[in-house]
Amino acid sequence: MRRLAFLRWLITLAGVSMAPSLYADNLTALPFQKVHIKDDFWSKRIRTNRTATIEANLHQCEITGRIRNFAIAGKLEEGKHKGLLFDDSDVYKVLEGIAYALSSQRDPELEKRADAIIDKIAAAQQPDGYLNTYFTLVKPQERWKDIRFGHELYCAGHLIEAAVAYQQATGKRKLLDVAIKLADHIDRTFGPDKKVDTSGHEEIELALIKLYRATKEKRYLKLAQFFLDVRGRKDKRKLFGEYAQDHKPVRQQSEVVGHAVRAMYLYCGMADMAAITGDKELRTALEKIWGDVVQRKMYVTGGIGPSASNEGFTVPYDLPNDSAYCETCAAIGMALWNHRMFLMSGDGKYADVLEREVYNGLLSGVSLSGDRFFYVNPLASRGQHHRVPWFGCSCCPTNIVRYIPGMGERVYAYRDNDIWTVLYMSGTATIPLKDGKVKLTQQTNYPWDGKIKIKAEPEKPFSFNLHLRIPAWCQSWRVTANGSMDFDKSLGMLVLHRRPEKGGHEIELELDMPVERVYADPRVKADVGRVALQRGPIVYCLEGVDNGGSVRNLCLPKEAKLTAKFDKDLLGGVVTIQGEALAVAREGEKLATKPIAFRAVPYFAWDNRAPGQMIVWLAETPECAELPGEEGLVVKGVRIRASHLNPTDTLETLNDGERPKSSKDHDIRRMTWWDHRGTVEWLSYRTAKPRKLSGAQVYWFDDTGLGACRVPAEWRLLWLDGNEWKPVKLLKGEHYGTELDQFNKVSFEPVTTRELRLEVKLQPNYSGGVLKWRVTEAK
């Protein structure tokens, strides 16, 4: 059994060769309107999106005032603006989702509601083409003055995307004309001899390219090029920094940094531009960034962006589980980007990431009922994390609305007389090749079953090639087909050569789907000693509701036998993984284990039943399990606990060997006791066996000028002697320091203990935190 499919990328990716970046190499995605999905998995979710998700989001946009803001800005109603400065974008994304739904099935009532909203949007547009309800109603004198955080270009981008989609779906131009008028206004405002700046939250770039493709107006392509080219150019403008990927020119960037959603939208725009222009430097930069994301900064679920503080990326291999941010929008952005990368190259590794996203970290963002949503998608929970109907900032629910109905676009791609399979799902489609059309009929129960039948029916005799993707997770497969075939291992594609004289173009592909044990790169400290389960493209988790209420105290020995079983009555019909784990408990000073049957369910489906614990990465040994009453994080055999932990912080990196740049270093993960103020708090390190300790070093977190965390008023160290906490005895001349921007070191008389505690008294009215805490074992 292989070590893992997922992290096979971490080992082999650097050696994979790429096709040259030429415009002629691009594949064309078959529009989703041309793909008639008939499989149970996706057709069910597309129906739910139409009947529940769109309705839920429309309702929320109405009751929160988002739609009324347009009526007020258009002087159709009186009132004041409600909500955040970027709320217009939520309405646009819902309209885009409605457009995709109407493309598949016209609905007069839904279309009438959308047209009414569009009338209000058109009324809100200013005579010069400007359109943004917040700045029109709240800060009219500050239009285009806060490009970094104002989100005007971001909202404009989502309007453009909605407008193009709605015109293509209905043939109606009203919203498209509004978008064109706004784009023309932006083109008059920004440019080399005008306002030289770029978007603070990327989106306008990819949208302008979409508008160019729809209208053939080259000004929009040139404007998108301008926004890309001035990013990171400190000789042209004041930069926004890494948070907005504005620290270097885009062609010089090689690592993903900053806000995850911003990054993904930027890379989509770069990929679109590279596809159109054949810009090799853009392509090279994207390939380097992609390697950094996938090899060092992506979760097994496809989730990206571990940190809540910047809603994005930190350092390589920083992938905590309980505090994982993994915004749903970021997963959607990752899927959009990887689809574009696949279309530029035909390389199956990009489709593999796309598949990982849509079946795991993206799909988890919406409930099975379609009307409750995750903003954050952690890989472990103690039972407090749940989907909700709406958020104050509701970018994620409205992004789900527009992504799900377009799934058909990710099924096939084509070029000349070649067809590529991207994602497998039952349905029919007709592909317009160079020498004729080919009707494809696909039958499969994917992702639960790896058997795929494809019938290819050309409208006339001619030669064509069918490229079948062999996913990276699949280690053995079989194909039955007439004619010749080749397997391109570097691209993960099985190429079937169909000749006109060969009749009966029927193909049967079987991808073996055993249950796989997945192991993280050892540099991912949160997952050392742990294992995840995957079958086919689906990543699994254990929920308390299936396993007696507790799953964090379980360990899964390496020799445990695992079986897969389809349960039609569970979670809408899913394959579960079953086996025998060990429940771990403490008996005195020793760990005791008891065999217990367990059931794992697909990660995307968790939190759809009774609330409770959830975990993706299971302990493989009793020492790594979390015991009842001994909650905390186990890192390299050390259990780290805290009296309180801000939900968006982590204990994982406290003793990772890294050195902060300063006490207000926001580029690394930290622990804080926020929002406790002026209280007595603590941290502790506990080991399975006693250790002899003689010193400690603490690097305090202090964000003076930015937040309310300060160094503590005082602190001390205590050691556990039996069941009694005792203060350590400092050596002569030692004291408990609270200096900033350095480690505060203390030495004490050696103690032999299983647990050392750092106790602080926070300053009145302030909270506090720790960046690093090291302990010294006595020689």
pLDDT 10s digits, 267-279? 999 999 999 999 9
Q: State pTM to two decimals.
A: 0.89
Q: Any residues with CB less than 8 A from the CB of 141 and at least 6 apart, and which?
A: none
Confidence band of 648 (pLDDT split at 50, 70, 90) = confident
Q: Residue 116: which residues within 8 A CB-CB, separation 6 or more?
A: none
User: What confidence category does residue 18 fall into, taking pLDDT thresholds of 50, 70 and 90?
Assistant: very low
Q: Residue 452 in contact with residue 446, Cβ under 8 Å? A: yes
Report CA Rg, the chain: 28
What span, in angstroms and rounded, lies between the C-alpha atoms of 377 and 360?
Answer: 10
Band (pLDDT 50/70/90 cuts) for residue 248 is very high
Where is average pLDDT lowest: 291-300, 489-498, 583-592, 671-680?
Answer: 583-592
Q: How confident is the model over 43-93, as pLDDT tens digits? A: 999 999 999 999 999 999 999 999 999 999 999 999 999 999 999 999 999
C-alpha 709/C-alpha 704 separation (Å) is 7
pLDDT at 104: 87
pLDDT of res. 525: 87
Beta bridge pairs of residue 195: 190
Residue with tokens 């009532």: 109
Top-confidence residue, 341 or 631: 341
Residue type, 622: P
Catalytic residue among 61, 155, 395, 474: 395
Q: Which of 152, 287, 311, 357 is flagged as catalytic?
A: 311
User: Which residue carries 């939208």 as its tokens?
Assistant: 265
Answer whether 50's CB lies under 8 Å from 371's CB. Answer: no
Give residue 6's pLDDT band: very low, low, confident or very high (50, 70, 90).
Answer: very low
pLDDT one-digit tens code per residue, 471-519: 999 999 999 988 788 998 889 999 999 887 655 589 999 999 999 999 9
Q: What are the pLDDT digits (tens) for 95-119? A: 999 999 999 889 999 999 999 999 9
Pairing of strands 574-587, 638-642: unpaired
Residue 568 confidence (pLDDT) above 70: yes
Structure tokens at 189: 């405002």
Collapsing DSSP to helix, strand or coil, 247 comes out as coil
Cross-strand partners of 672: 769
d(CA 291, CA 297): 9
Give the CB-side neighbour count of residue 401, counting CA atoms within 13 A. 32
pLDDT score of 17 more than 50: no
152 is catalytic: no
pLDDT, average across residues 243-264: 97
Task: Give pLDDT, residue 779.
Answer: 84
Average pLDDT over residues 8-25: 33
> For a pLDDT cut of 70, what percent of the chain falls above it?
96
**Cα first-last separation, the chain:** 42
311 included as an active-site residue: yes
In angstroms, the CA 444 to CA 707 distance is: 54
Structure tokens at 174: 């009203």
Q: Per-residue pLDDT averaged across 312-318, rounded?
A: 92
SS (H, E, C) 608-619: CCCCCCEECCEE
Query: What pLDDT score was predicted for residue 501?
Result: 63
pLDDT per position as a tens digit, 319-330: 999 989 999 999
pLDDT at 502: 57
- Could you tell me if 411 and 425 are in contact, meaning their C-beta atoms sit under 8 angstroms apart? yes
How far is it, in rounded angstroms, from Cα 148 to Cα 197?
A: 9
Please list the alpha-helical segments (H only) found in 77-151: 88-104, 108-124, 133-137
What average pLDDT does the chain have? 93
